[in-house]
Homo-oligomer: A and B are copies of this chain.
Amino acid sequence: MSGNPPDKRRRILDAAVTVFAQHGFYTAKVSQIAKEAGVADGTIYLYFKNKEDILIQVFIDAMDEILKRQEAALAQQTDPVQRLRTFITTHFAAVAESRAMAEVITVELRQSSKFMRDTDMKPFGQYLGMIARIVDDGVKAGLFADAVDSRLIARAIFGAVDELALEWAMSDRIASLVEAGNHVADLFLQGLARRAPPADPTQVG
């Protein structure tokens, strides 16, 4: 069923997530990853060009998965309001499933953006694009206020969500990511909401 015989690549990637989360990319040693994956040091180089490549593949894989997951979750919704809430919820759900992955993605992504400039960072762009599209749709549908820069909003939302995921991963202040997700969704949805004819100022806030 799952990855065939040894499926070493998968095991190495999983080990890398664990080790990178624990020590950070630069401090992590390739030999640690090998040990964690239960393979010889050299084996890693049968599957990855070098240490950096491991990190890149971790990202690509992780983004791939979360993108698919968001698509699946969003496919069932048409209302932009619901879709934005779903997006945030799904993001947190994914994050919650792997604290280590969350740490790697949120912490290492930035540091690494240096050497990943050359790399295929499209997946991240796509991810932002998903948010932006939802916002655009909401605007078109008259649900969100006009004249918002959807790209800017997308980035702001991602930043907020990412920061909370980071806090959750690194401390214990946030008990429930689901709950936090709903709070944040509320915040942004009300923030984006079209100011109804302010005849009735009580409508939105």
Distance A114 CA – B185 CA, assembled complex (angstroms): 29
Interface size class of A (residues with CB under 8 A): 35 or more
> In the complex, which of the residues B106, B191, B202 contacts A197, with contact meaning CB atoms closer than 8 Å?
B202
Task: Verify B204–A189 contact, CB threshold 8 A.
Answer: yes
Task: Verify B180–A152 contact, CB threshold 8 A.
Answer: yes
Nearest opposing residue in chain B for A138, CB measure: B205
Scan residues 154-205 of chain A and give those whose CB is less than 8 A from a CB of chain B.
Answer: 155-164, 166-167, 170, 173-174, 180, 183-197, 199-205
Given contacts A81-B204, A187-B188, A191-B187, contact A110 B113 (CB under 8 A): no
Nearest opposing residue in chain B for A114, CB measure: B24
Task: Verify B164–A160 contact, CB threshold 8 A.
Answer: no
Task: Verify B203–A153 contact, CB threshold 8 A.
Answer: no
Confirm or deny: A64 has a beta carbon within 8 angstroms of a beta carbon on chain B: no
> In the complex, which of the residues B79, B155, B163, B205 contacts A193, with contact meaning CB atoms closer than 8 Å?
B205
Confirm or deny: A63 has a beta carbon within 8 angstroms of a beta carbon on chain B: no
Residues of A within 8 A of B (CB): 23-27, 79, 81-82, 85, 106-108, 110-111, 113-114, 143, 145, 148-149, 151-153, 155-164, 166-167, 170, 173-174, 180, 183-197, 199-205
Closest 5 CB pairs of A and B: A159-B163, A191-B191, A196-B202, A81-B205, A193-B205
